Amino acid sequence: MTFDSASILTDKAAFTGQFVHALVSKCRDNNGRGVDGMRLIQMMAGAIVEFTLLFDESDRGVEAVYKHLATMLGCEPQEGPISDLALPPSYIIDFRAEQGRELTRRMFEDWLHCAYEFQDVLLFVCQQMILNMEEDGQNRRDLFRLLIECTNRCLGYEIAAQELCDIVIEQKIGLEGWSLPESISGLSAVAGRALALSLNAYQQTAFRGADLPEHLDRLTCVMTQEAVRLGLPAGSDWRFGLAANDRPLDAPYELIASLEPLARDFFRVIRMHNLMDQAVASAKATGRMLAVAAGGDRPEVEPVIAKPLAMAAMTETYKTVCTQYAIMSM
């Protein structure tokens, strides 16, 4: 799909229609049952995050978007606690939001300097999508709340990933002399451990051949897609040389013990208490470190080495935590 980047200034209505069509076409239900509303909300969340990242203080930018939307919708979001079952798993939110961000970048890349026009289109589209879903019987305040929750999580993953990379670069590489391979392994292992702990690890002990459990496979996708998006060569060599299931587990214990306390303190400061959210943020940070270390024409670590290194640290740590909890529960 191609977009007329000049039409935002000459025909905002037509350009808005293009944006709506692009969003809706990405959210068609695979079973032919129309538009998947939850997928649409997540993609809109990604679009909002892409817009607010244009500003230095993105957290204030996103609050301004919520305030404008509340006025346009004529309501405040639903209040009170929200059930974890109301939202998809964190890695799904990240995946769909990244689709929304990528679509937004492609549509608006030639006129991101036109922030007011960008905001007008974005707010109008969000308003119309929520009103359309309300016509199908869904509560407007509930939809607004779900959009806010998904947006906050998507923005949190983005900010946390960058901050975790900064912590590793400044503390571990700068002060303690970690190498880039150690940095990649440490972040990846922290992600794998957080994922296992988030899933009642003692229940997740079945590993069949080269297949990964679904949650772990999804988390590795977060890592790989972030790395590829930032320039790491794509390919099928991510699992090259991974240990077979009959080999002793080999999680990087020393790296975990050194990095995890810093990561835990950071997550406490930003109030990201959900372990699955922490796993996604750490996986995105790993992807960024991979792109730094193994991207470009003259990488410091060859991609064929860096990719399996990150994958092994995540999977081995995940399996180790699962096995330890299984033994303790006997």
CB 288 within 8 A of CB 161: yes
Mean pLDDT, rounded, for 265-286: 96
CB 27 within 8 A of CB 124: no
Segment 295-329, tens digit of pLDDT: 888 889 988 888 899 999 999 999 888 887 654 44
Segment 243-261, tens digit of pLDDT: 545 455 678 999 999 999 9
CA distance 15 to 210: 46
Six-digit token string for 106: 């492609």
Measured at the CA of 294, the angle between CA 288 and CA 297, to 5 degrees, comes to: 120
Q: What is the mean pLDDT of the chain?
A: 85
Segment 180-194, tens digit of pLDDT: 999 999 999 999 999
The pLDDT of residue 298 is 87
Calculate the alpha carbon distances from 247 to 201, 303, 320, 322 in Å. Answer: 20, 24, 12, 15
CB 16 within 8 A of CB 108: no
Q: Residue 134, Cα to own-chain centre: how many angstroms? A: 27
Report whether pLDDT(231) > 90: no
Max avg pLDDT among 18-22, 49-53, 77-81, 163-167: 163-167
Measured at the CA of 98, the angle between CA 22 and CA 303, to 5 degrees, comes to: 125
Calculate the alpha carbon distances from 315 to 122, 161, 218, 251, 293 in Å. Answer: 39, 19, 12, 8, 20
The pLDDT of residue 54 is 82
Six-digit token string for 204: 């997740």
35 pairs with which residues across the strands?
28
CA distance 192 to 282: 9
The pLDDT of residue 205 is 46
Report whether pLDDT(70) > 70: yes
- In which element (H, E) is residue 69 found? helix 58-73
Orientation of helix 214-229 relative to helix 303-328, angle to 10°: 150
User: Which stretches within 27-84 are classed as H helix?
Assistant: 37-52, 58-73
CB 62 within 8 A of CB 155: yes
Report whether pLDDT(242) > 60: no
